[in-house]
Structure 1
Amino acid sequence: MMMDVDIISREIIKPSSPAIHRIKPFKLSLLDQITPTTYAPLILFYPKNHIHSKNPQAHLKNSLSETLNSFYPFSGRMKDNLFIDYYEEGIPYNEARVHCCLSKFLQNPKTESLNHFLPCSPFRKEPNPMEAAQFAVQVNIFDCGGIAIGLCASHKITDGITLSAFLSTWAATTGGPSNKLVSPNFTEASSLSHFPPQNILPHIAKPLVERLWFREGKYKTRRFVFDAKAIATLRAKARSERVENPTRVESLSGFICKHARAASRLASGSPRPSILAQAISIRRKAKPRLSDSSMGNIFWWALAAYDYNSAESTEIEMRGLVATLKEAVSKIDSDVRILQGHEGFIGLIEYAIQKAATVVFSRENPEIFAFTSWLTFGFNEIDFGWGKPIWVGLMGEVGSGRKLTILQNAIYGKGIEAWVTLDENVMAILEDDAEFLALATLNPSVISQ
């Protein structure tokens, strides 16, 4: 269902404490430094019957201002790709009126409409990183009184665990469960024993990372839902001698990648090599380990090349993709050691050159299929005192994007929503793939799940 969304107010929310001016600049970690400025989206939908406050918008703004006292980097701006400072700049905060009822929208939730609920364009390369806000909010009020809270978090300093901690604390401060409050640690990740920043980065680091994150083109994002039975079937199909007990994430990633690669071959008329990229939190990979209260962009990509000339059957191909992804993840410890500086700056340069040779400068122009799991972040548990969200949406179209799949918990049952972004012509083929759709349901009604 298409609908009109009108912005009715724009303001800036700043930390409520005057002591914010005395806090030192937040030092970026190496991982923050080499991550581009782009916004990860999230939209939390709450029906009117969950909202008992007479003025929920005022409560949200006041509690957000209070939350920024402890999550102060979210209120700042970047300086020289070394620090976040200027905490008085604040968070952009929009309020919007949605001219339809929430239940009607959820009966047939058009993914193309979701960007109207967001304050920023998702997963776009931001042209002015030093001016970009670290976080932005848009509170959308439906005619029926339901609310959709659209959020954009800069991936420069925010990964899924950090975003979850921030939202849980904001929700608890608003009136949700007090046991969800998090005391963030903004110094641990950039310390000398973990991922200290570099004044000079290897020249190859920027094109390497941007090749992983962005590629100009026309992309489509679609939401596919896999129920518990389909997931069990895929886990059985993914099982092999190399991976005896594949996880839900491994099995879904392998299945989606197999069919996306097949659709891409049909669209282009010729096979291309593939690079599989799996986002991994490396808090527990670091030595010494980082705690979950350690804030920042503390993840890395496990990369693996996959042979495109293979004449395997589709089931064997899926097992091979799952095994390749699992092996790449198992080898990420050596990447973390280099990123922590244990091999010295020369080791970091050699590592970047080696990765770039595969990803950036390959003559065969490999396709990169990226996967990230949001299953453990608890976004469907965010309670501002109104109960849990009736649905968690992500995004509509992306501009300069990439082939990215985000796995998110379905609200009902033990299913998983896969938000898949592919080239427009490739997605058109995937949407017509009978074998794929035998296990994946394309954008079903949220209410009837």
Structure 2
Amino acid sequence: MLPKILHNMEVQVQRSTIISDGGPNAPAVPATEVPLTVFDRFASNIHIAVLFAFASPTPANDALVDGLRNTFKHFPTLTARLGYSLTHRRPCILMGGGGGGGAQVVEATVSSELSDHLPLKPSPELQRLHPNPGAGAQLFQVQFNRFMCGGLIIGFSVHHRVADGHSMGAFFTAWAKAVRGAPIDRLPVYDQSWLKPRRPPRCEFQHWGQDFIPTTPHHNVLTKNVDPSKITNILLKYPSDYLKKLKAKVDNKFTTFETLSAHLWRKITIARRLQDYEHTTVRVPVNGRARLKPLVSDDFFGNLVVNAYPKGNVKVLIDGGLVKAASIIHEAIAEIDKGYFQSFIDFGELHGEEELVPAYDVDGNLLSPTLEMDSWVRFRFHEMDLGGGGELRSFLPTWVPFEGLMMFLPGLGEEGGVDVFVTLLQDHAELLRQISHSLD
């Protein structure tokens, strides 16, 4: 295979294999259909790719692959495949039966030192460090990139319809334990007994048009696209000391996420040069595990997320200051309570046999004046410990050719805090860099 060049490092693919939970000699089992829930169908129909960089020493590839096989035994949906159930008349996960399942594992070498490329910074070339999601049908794909020093960058790509970020954080933590030979003490929960519509089902909230897009011929969808080369990704670092100052400006009345989100919502609105009369919206994913009653197990594996939609007039947002922006976000998130989740479940019962197209899938690649803010701080990604003494040195999403996303990541350095991955048009990103840490 031809080498792939990335910032003066040569990435040479050595081997690509498909593995399953039971190994090559596992007996075949009949296919089982697991219908996608309304929450699964609300998730983006794409792979989400992330990169983990570990300093030397790290376990051998064989140990990493054996750990995957042992972990997949408890997370079987990750080695399944997407299909359509004629019985239930809706998309489903097909487990067993052969025909495109398993996980893709790519092993590669890099002819440079890992330290030459740390900390990882957003770059289109980062896509070379994980498998191309469009190249195979596997829902779970991983690439092990070995450096001359023994360092390792692991590139994961996982389909969002199978699991949300909370679930994948649990998987990565479990896999790291399996690699170390430690027991997986928190097993995933697949029970969906909480997914009960009311009788009769009813929707108190407007999910058509906001969460899902009607596919009727008379419904026009405004899709905005721009040349991907005009979009850039940047990483902004907010140390713990800075966050304390920022929260002091709102008298510590709001969470760190609400405060930093409000700060960046205002700064990005300025950087985008939006007009005073315009309106801007933020999509904020909200985890339902702790909001449904009775509570859903924190170990539930799958998707259980809906969006809050804070909205604001540009002039009000800027003139009202940080407190106003934070209060808008706080109030919108608070409205996503058990009643909202129950309405969402009932919507799935009423419209489950219809084509459900989430708003994500018709956005185009230009969200402005909308933003999406995803917090990965509590997903336990930063807790991965593969053993051998090599520490996690960097964690980053891969390059995203899509404008309007923000991902909050745990700061790994001594300063702690939060790193924020932002995707914007290049000229807007340059202005954001200049004003991103101003406390005004």
1:5-404 superposed matches below 5 A: 5-16=11-22, 18=26, 21-22=29-30, 24-49=32-57, 51=58, 53=59, 56-80=60-84, 82-87=91-96, 88=98, 89-106=101-118, 109-112=120-123, 113-120=125-132, 132-175=137-180, 177-178=182-183, 180-188=184-192, 191-192=195-196, 206-207=212-213, 217-218=227-228, 219-239=231-251, 245-265=253-273, 272-310=278-316, 312-313=318-319, 316-333=320-337, 334-341=339-346, 345=350, 367-387=369-389, 389-399=391-401, 401-404=402-405
Provide the C-alpha distance between the structure 2 equivalents of 1:20 and 1:386, rounded to a whole number of angstroms.
35
SS in 2 for 1:309: helix
Please name the residue that 1:197 is paired with: none
CA 1:177–1:9: 2 relative to 1, 3 Å: same
The one-letter amino acid paired with 1:36 is S
Q: CA deviation at 1:192?
A: 3.4
For residue 346 of structure 1, report the CA deviation from its aligned partner. Answer: 7.9
Gaps of 5+ in 2: 1-6, 85-89, 199-206, 216-220
**Structure-2 separation of matches of 1:360 and 1:270:** 27
How many angstroms apart in 1 are the aligned matches of 2:11 and 2:341?
44
What's the % identity of the aligned pairs?
21
SS of 2:249's partner is: helix
Q: Cα distance 1:67–1:342, how it changes in 2: closer, same or farther (>3 A)? A: same
Q: Deviations over 1:109-161 (max 9, x none)?
A: 3321422222236xxxx7x9xx7422110100011111111111211121122
Q: Which runs of 4+ in 1 moved over 4 A?
A: 201-206, 211-217, 268-271, 346-349
* Aligned residue in 1 for 2:436: 436
Whether 1:425 and 2:437 are equivalent positions in the alignment is no
TM-score (norm 2): 0.80
Aligned letter for 1:139?
A: F
- Paired amino acid for 1:231: L
Cα deviation code 1:173-214 (max 9, x no counterpart): 111543x543222242784369xxxxxx969865379x8999
C-alpha separation between the residues in 1 aligned to 2:94 and 2:11? 33
CA distance in structure 2 between the aligned counterparts of 1:66 and 1:396, rounded to whole angstroms? 27
Kindly provide the CA deviation profile for residues 57-108 of structure 1, in whole angstroms up to 9, marking residues without a partner as x.
01111221222222111011111253111444211111111221011111x5
Q: Which amino acid aligns with 2:43?
A: T
Match of 1:444 in 2: none
Contact 1:184 1:293 survives alignment (8 Å): yes
In the alignment, what sits opposite 1:405?
Answer: 406
Give the Cα–Cα distance (whole angstroms) in 2 for the partners of residues 186 and 83 of structure 1: 15
Q: What CA deviation, in whole Å up to 9, does each residue of 1:333-378 have, x standing for no partner?
A: 13212112189738999xx99x98xx999xxx96111111111121
Partners of 1:203 and 1:438 in 2: how far apart?
36
Deviations along 1:388-444, one digit per CA (max 9) or x if unpaired, are: 643232234323x2411111111133321111112223112212x2x42457xxxxx
Which digits, 9 at most, give the CA deviation of each residue in 1:26-69, with x for residues without a partner? 332110023232122221211113x2x4xx10111122122222
TM-score (ref. length: structure 1): 0.79
Q: Is the 8 A contact 1:8 1:96 kept in 2?
A: yes
Q: Which amino acid aligns with 2:164?
A: D
User: Is the deviation greater in 74-83 or in 137-146?
Assistant: 74-83
8 A contact 2:131–2:142 mirrored in 1: yes
Contact persistence 1:119–1:136 (CA under 8 A): yes
Deviates more, 1:385-394 or 1:139-148: 385-394
> Are residues 36 and 20 of structure 1, via their aligned partners in 2, closer, same or farther at CA, if it must alter by over 3 Å?
farther
Aligned-pair distance for 1:380?
1.3
2:371 match: secondary structure:
strand
Pair 190,157 (structure 1): closer, same or farther in 2 beyond 3 Å: farther
- Per the alignment, in what secondary structure is the counterpart of residue 93 of structure 1? strand
Q: Superposition RMSD on alpha carbons, in Å?
A: 3.5
Unaligned runs of 5+ residues in structure 1 are: 195-200, 440-449
AA aligned to 2:253 is N
